[in-house]
Structures are given as structure tokens and as C-alpha cells.
């Protein structure tokens, strides 16, 4: 067990260093390959935690500003009432990632029984660390429902 804990701690430290280097200087425009990979990994970790209903973990990927405004129980309620596609997701994919005004916007397609729902995630970077600010639900293509 101690071995696994050590591996997780090292991985978190390395990912923190990687995030720091990638986000030290944010330049408006399209995300670099490294930035896009880190954004995708951050959002994926949150979506995967939501799908497993590991609420503390999912909440930890939110930005400090979000967490100061929204308590964990409110977060769980919001996800359950407005983002059910994340809980029951059958996969997701990433498209455009852009940087503007020190914020990152990432387009994510989430497949569920309802179809393919497009989400626009906004992330902030504070002290070179990513945090999810919001996810706006766009259109759902019900023709792709399973």
C-alpha cells in the first residue's frame, strides 16, 4: 500500500512541475500541444471522478475561486441536476483548446445515452495550477444516442 501511495505522490509532484512549466507564461491563442495535454488530463480526471461519483476528488479539480463560492454538497447537486451526462458518460473527446485573458477554453464532447453533448469548459491558472471554473452545456446531438 505504501508503494502505491509513493507512486501517486510522485506522479502528482511531476504533474505539478509539468503544469508549472507549461503555464508560467500564458499567451493568447491556440493551446500548445503540452498545454492541451495538461488541460485534457485535468478535465479527464474530473470527469472520471464524477462518473465514479467520487465527489471529493471531482470537486478538487475545480478552481479555488469556484470552491470558495460553491460548497461540495452544492457541487454534487449541480452535477446531478444539470450534468447527468458526465455521470453516465460513455466516453468523451476533446476538440479546440484556446487561451485568452489568462483563461483556457476547452471544447469537450460527452457521449451518453442521451446522445453527444457539447460542453465548453473554462479553466483558470493560479500559481501555474489549473482549475475548472465552469462547464457550459451546449447542444446535444440525439442522433448519436445509444
Give the residue extent of every domain in the chain: 2-144
Among 52, 46, 4, smallest CA distance to 133 is for 46
Per-residue pLDDT, averaged over 103-109, amounts to 97
- pLDDT tens string 41-58: 999 999 999 999 999 999
Among 43, 17, 29, smallest CA distance to 107 is for 43
How confident is residue 86, by pLDDT bands cut at 50, 70 and 90?
Answer: very high
Distances (CA, A) of 21 to 14, 24, 134, 140: 11, 6, 24, 36
- pLDDT tens string 119-139: 999 999 988 889 999 999 997
Bridge partners, 131 (sequence order): 124
Please state, in angstroms and rounded to a whole number, the distance separating the CA atoms of residues 22 and 14. Answer: 12
Kindly write down the DSSP assignment for every residue of 129-144, as one continuous string.
Answer: EEEEEEEEEEEEEGGG
The domain 2-144 is placed in CATH, from the list 3.30.1360.20, 2.60.120.260, 3.40.190.10, 3.10.450.50, at: 3.10.450.50
Burial class (CB in 10 A: 0-12, 13-18, 19+), 123: buried
Amino acid at each position: 500500500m505504501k508503494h502505491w501511495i509513493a507512486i501517486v505522490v510522485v506522479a502528482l509532484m511531476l504533474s505539478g512541475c509539468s503544469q508549472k512549466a507549461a503555464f508560467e507564461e500564458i499567451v493568447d491563442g491556440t493551446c500548445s500541444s503540452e498545454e492541451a495535454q495538461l488541460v485534457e488530463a485535468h478535465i479527464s480526471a474530473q470527469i472520471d471522478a464524477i462518473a465514479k461519483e467520487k465527489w471529493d476528488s471531482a470537486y478538487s479539480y475545480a478552481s479555488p475561486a469556484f470552491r470558495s463560492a460553491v460548497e461540495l454538497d452544492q457541487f454534487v447537486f449541480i452535477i446531478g441536476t444539470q450534468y447527468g451526462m458526465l455521470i453516465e458518460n460513455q466516453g468523451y473527446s476533446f476538440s479546440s483548446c484556446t487561451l485568452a485573458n489568462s483563461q483556457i477554453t476547452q471544447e469537450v464532447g460527452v457521449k451518453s445515452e442521451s446522445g453527444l453533448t457539447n460542453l465548453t469548459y473554462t479553466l483558470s491558472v493560479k500559481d501555474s495550477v489549473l482549475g475548472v471554473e465552469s462547464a457550459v452545456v451546449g447542444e446535444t446531438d440525439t442522433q448519436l444516442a445509444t
